[in-house]
């Protein structure tokens, strides 16, 4: 039976990421047929980290290939050019895996870029139509613009950025609270077959039930959330806490498990 492991938000080379080498992650994918990295694997928002982050991804590709593990990298808002893959379906389109920024207006409402991100996404949707693929394509385009500095002319002064810290924290907490419902409502419109939706993006790990759907967020490798892993084995879904021991990551206790069909 094919076994898939799903992780997200590693943020290679970003300050605050707890992953300092690819080798730390290698124990996690042992025994699996496929590793899915669900967005923000690498860090493209900071130009000084781009080269090293790219090297880490290349090392990851070599190590998984050596271990005979198929690697699927889904692009996120911090690494929108890392691949052309924006989502992946499992279990006869009952389980959707995507980074999770598409349902949020502006991608990250706590960022000064969110207004310009939203304007870019809306403009593209007006031109292409508004369906599932178009939604993901629009946020990817806006993410590329954001990561490559297209919005930098609108960047606030350091003084205004400092003043925005407290409001940004409030917006983050509000987003955490609303996120499961927002994702569920988005899926009702754009992915109605999905009964389980696996995301990252907000760095807030959790499992929630909304309108007959299960929303999973795998958190991040760094503040403020402990990372989680999702295993899909046939139609069975299992969520594990991830533990760090002697510098390496491994599966910890089971958080939840159920059959997706």
Nearest residue to 202 via CA among 187, 216, 186? 216
- For the question of whether the overall pTM of this predicted structure is more than 0.85, the answer is yes
- Reported confidence tier of residue 260, pLDDT bands at 50, 70, 90: confident
CB burial of residue 170 (10 Å; 0-12, 13-18, 19+): exposed
Per-residue pLDDT at 225: 73
Per-residue pLDDT at 103: 97
Q: Is the pLDDT of residue 34 over 80?
A: yes
- Tell me the pLDDT tens digit for each residue of 144-175: 999 888 999 999 999 999 999 999 999 999 99
Rounded to whole angstroms, how far apart are CA atoms 215 and 191? 13
- Tell me the pLDDT tens digit for each residue of 52-94: 888 899 999 999 999 999 999 999 999 999 999 999 999 999 9
Per-residue pLDDT at 94: 97
Per-residue pLDDT at 134: 98
- Tell me the pLDDT tens digit for each residue of 88-143: 999 999 999 999 999 999 999 999 999 999 999 999 999 999 999 999 999 999 99
- Reported confidence tier of residue 51, pLDDT bands at 50, 70, 90: confident
Of 243 and 54, more confident:
243
Q: Is the pLDDT of residue 46 over 80?
A: no
Per-residue pLDDT at 43: 84
- Reported confidence tier of residue 50, pLDDT bands at 50, 70, 90: confident
% of the chain beyond a pLDDT of 70 = 99
% of the chain beyond a pLDDT of 90 = 86
Rounded to whole angstroms, how far apart are CA atoms 136 and 26? 30
SS (H, E, C) the chain: CCEEEEECCCCECCCCECCCCHHHCHHHHCCCCEEEEECCCECCCCHHHHHHHHHHHHHHHHHHHHCCCEEEEECCCCCCCCCCCCCEEECCCCEEECCCCCCCCCCCCCCCCHHHHHHHHHHHHHHHCCCHHHHHHHHHHHHHHHHCCCCHHHCCCHHHHHHCHHHHHHHHHHHHHHHHHHHHHHHHHHCCCCCEEEECCCCCCEEEEECCEEEEECCCCECCECCEEEEEECCEEEEEEEEEECCEEEEEEEEEEEECC
Rounded to whole angstroms, how far apart are CA atoms 42 and 63? 16
- Reported confidence tier of residue 182, pLDDT bands at 50, 70, 90: very high
Domains and CATH numbers, the chain: 3-259 (3.60.21.10)
């Amino acid at each position: 039976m094919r076994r898939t492991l799903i992780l997200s938000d590693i943020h290679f080379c970003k300050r605050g990421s707890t992953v300092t080498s690819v080798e730390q992650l290698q124990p996690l994918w042992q025994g699996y047929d496929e590793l899915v990295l669900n967005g923000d694997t690498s860090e493209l928002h900071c130009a000084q980290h781009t080269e090293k982050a790219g090297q880490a991804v290349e090392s990851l590709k070599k190590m998984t290939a050596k271990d005979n593990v198929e690697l699927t990298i889904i692009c996120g808002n911090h690494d929108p050019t890392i691949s052309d893959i924006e989502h992946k379906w499992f279990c006869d389109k009952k389980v959707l895996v995507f980074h999770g920024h598409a349902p949020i207006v502006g991608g990250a409402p706590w960022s000064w870029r969110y207004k310009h991100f939203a304007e870019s996404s809306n403009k593209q949707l007006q031109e292409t139509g508004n369906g599932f693929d178009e939604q993901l394509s629009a946020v990817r385009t806006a993410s590329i613009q954001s990561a490559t500095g297209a919005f930098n002319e609108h960047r606030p002064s350091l003084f205004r950025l400092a003043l925005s810290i407290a409001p940004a924290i409030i917006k983050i907490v509000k987003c955490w609270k609303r996120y499961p419902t927002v994702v569920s409502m988005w899926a009702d419109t754009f992915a109605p077959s999905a009964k389980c939706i696996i995301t990252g993006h907000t760095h807030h790990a959790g499992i929630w039930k909304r309108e007959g759907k299960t929303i999973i967020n795998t958190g991040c490798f760094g503040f403020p959330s402990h990372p989680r892993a999702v295993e899909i084995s046939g139609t069975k879904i299992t969520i594990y806490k991830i533990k760090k021991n002697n510098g390496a990551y491994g599966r910890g206790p089971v958080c939840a498990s159920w059959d997706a069909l």
